[in-house]
């Protein structure tokens, strides 16, 4: 018999189990909802769904790099404890997730931007006994040079795409991006309203200090350049050699794009918006 979308939706609302598992349960149960619920309980999936409200502050950010070195992915898989994050099953799922994302027509986002068949962690929850979920991801495909950096604890990672340079340079810049978390590549990418706000702040500070207007304007430019060195990648002091800026280190190469993920930062950002 055919299973309707409304049947699947109703079963999901009652059990909290993923759509695909609900549909499978209904098919196996001939459309009988009570039997489907029992099927899910027998599989441990209904029990797993009850864990969905528990906080996921641990996990991994796992990279994937294609054999030709032209596609790179970093993806976040969340769980409740570091103990589970270090387990083989969790790490295998995380690695497979990143590899599957590499084959999709996506660039960056969250689980909502991915097919449910690759983000469904219900079986893993049932097996490992913790709430889990796919967090954020980033993917870069290029004809240029890719550098990927993953911190030793697998909770911080970045991708840098270069036009020019080599893999060693790209990896160094990726490490820098992970550590220093620049807001943008160059000052040209800063929104005009951000710059105007900063200029107004610096001008007020200078005037409050009693500086003449012509001196105050010079002070504003100096402080604006300092601001650039804090938030713009090419203006930042290189983490491995702070006497040089990233622009110096690039030596004619250009950073085309960058992506950075730190475990849990996405959840923190959502909380701050509430």
Query: What is the chain's pLDDT, residue by residue, as a tens digit (274 residues)?
Result: 688 988 888 888 777 677 888 888 899 999 988 888 878 777 766 655 556 556 678 999 999 999 999 999 999 999 999 999 999 999 999 999 999 999 999 999 999 999 989 998 888 888 888 889 999 999 999 999 999 999 989 999 999 999 999 999 999 999 999 999 999 999 999 999 989 998 889 888 888 888 887 888 889 889 999 999 999 999 999 999 999 999 999 999 999 999 999 998 865 455 545 5
Whether residue 133 sits in one domain with residue 107: yes
CA distance 107 to 136: 11
pTM of the model: 0.77
Whether residue 30 sits in one domain with residue 110: no
Cβ atoms 178, 159 nearer than 8 A:
no
Structural domain span for residue 38: 5-52
Cα 127 from chain centroid (whole Å): 25
- In this structure, the chain runs to a length of 274
Q: What is the CATH number of the domain that holds 12?
A: 1.10.8.10
Which secondary-structure segment (H or E) carries 48? helix 45-49
CA distance 268 to 274: 10
CA angle, corner 54, sides to 50 and 55, nearest 5? 160
Based on the structure, what is the number of domains in the chain? 2
The residue from 19, 36, 52 where one domain ends is 52
CA distance 76 to 58: 10
Whether residue 84 sits in one domain with residue 153: yes
Closest alpha carbon to 98 in 115, 127, 76, 120 = 76
């Amino acid at each position: 018999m055919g299973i309707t979308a409304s049947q699947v939706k109703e079963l999901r609302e009652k059990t909290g189990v993923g759509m695909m598992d609900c549909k499978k349960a209904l098919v196996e149960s001939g459309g009988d909802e009570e039997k489907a619920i029992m099927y899910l309980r027998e599989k441990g999936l209904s029990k797993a769904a009850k864990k969905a409200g528990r906080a996921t502050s641990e996990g991994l950010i796992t990279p994937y790099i294609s054999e030709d070195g032209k596609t790179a992915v970093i993806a976040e898989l969340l769980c409740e404890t570091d103990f589970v994050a270090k387990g083989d099953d969790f790490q295998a799922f995380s690695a497979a997730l990143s590899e599957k994302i590499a084959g999709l027509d996506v660039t960056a986002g969250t689980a909502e931007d991915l097919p449910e068949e690759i983000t469904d962690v219900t079986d893993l929850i049932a097996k490992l006994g913790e709430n889990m979920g796919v967090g954020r991801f980033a993917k870069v495909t290029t004809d240029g040079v890719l550098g990927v950096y993953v911190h030793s604890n697998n909770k911080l990672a970045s991708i840098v795409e270069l036009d020019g340079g080599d893999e060693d340079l790209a990896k160094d810049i990726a490490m820098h991006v992970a550590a220093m978390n620049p807001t943008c590549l160059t000052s040209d990418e800063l929104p005009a309203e951000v710059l105007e706000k900063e200029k107004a702040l610096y001008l007020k500070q200078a005037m409050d200090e009693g500086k003449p207007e012509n001196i105050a304007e010079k002070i504003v430019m100096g402080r604006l350049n300092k601001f650039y060195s804090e938030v713009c990648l090419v203006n930042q002091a290189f983490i491995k050699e702070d006497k040089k800026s990233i622009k110096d280190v690039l030596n004619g190469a250009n950073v085309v794009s960058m992506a950075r993920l730190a475990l849990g930062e996405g959840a923190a950002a959502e909380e701050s918006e509430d």
